[in-house]
Amino acid sequence: MEENPIMANDDIELIEDDSSLVESDGEVMDENPRVAKADAEVQKLISQKRIKDSDDRKVSSEIFDKATLQVLYKLANQGHLDVLNGAISTGKEANVLKGIKDDGSIVAVKIYRIATSDFKKMQYYIAGDPRFNVRSSNKRQLINNWVNKEYRNLTRLKDAGVYVPEAITSMSNVLIIEFIGDVDGNPAPTVKNLPPQDPEDFYEKLVNQMYRFINKANLIHGDLSTYNILNYNEEPVIIDVSQSVVRDHIIANELLERDIKNISFEFSKMGVDTSIEDLTERLIK
């Protein structure tokens, strides 16, 4: 697995070492065909007719600001993606897009929006994590650390055998991860949007993943629900782990209790014989 090249320096430093991408005034050039193609696809995304109202246009401009475009150019030049092709999901703080590589394979490109991210929430989850020493109030540096946190959490979970998307690389406010979906580019739906055909069997698989998450990776998800569990061919895939904290974090127990309550409640509604007490006993060792 490639090492995480995330950077916490000023925006221009993301590409200053690549003369093929930047002129002396910092303007992005399109000499590289792959970069030019990525740029054209980004512009296509921005100008698509489906972006009709002012709110949609505002979201688009927040995603593809100049600094983010520079990061995408750099990642394209490194071969991590060739073009951007459609949205997988849209959240309050980040959008996930499909990235197509030049060999036709698909990756998921998660872009955090600098302008609308909840920085107080980010500081709340990062503060007290021994892996990070975040003292800066600079918003961009905080998001850099937030993306780095998600990258490291995914790597740690994958090593523990938890079924999560593989972290591929990250830079600034952009994280590239494994695409979970079919060969035609259709992303796996969330459990919220596609409940499992056999909820009892799916629940047992999920409990096994949660056990590994907590006791092997020594992490607490912190926001686990059917909104961030994918139903991939009747297998649970846990996503959105940026807020996940280590088990000895000061808020870990509070978050764990919330996760257990959410999963117990949501699968009880599907007819699974479970309870908060039963799930807690199965997970806490």
Positions marked catalytic: 223, 240
Place of tokens 């209790």: 257
Q: Specify burial of residue 50 (Cβ count, 10 A radius: 0-12, 13-18, 19+).
A: exposed
Side-chain half-sphere of 100: how many Cα atoms within 13 Å? 16
Q: Specify burial of residue 259 (Cβ count, 10 A radius: 0-12, 13-18, 19+).
A: buried
Question: How far is residue 146's CA from residue 285's CA, in Å, rounded to a whole number?
Answer: 29
Compute the Cα dihedral for 59, 60, 62, 68 and give only its sign: positive
**DSSP state letter for 251:** T
Cα(first)–Cα(last) distance of the chain, in Å? 31
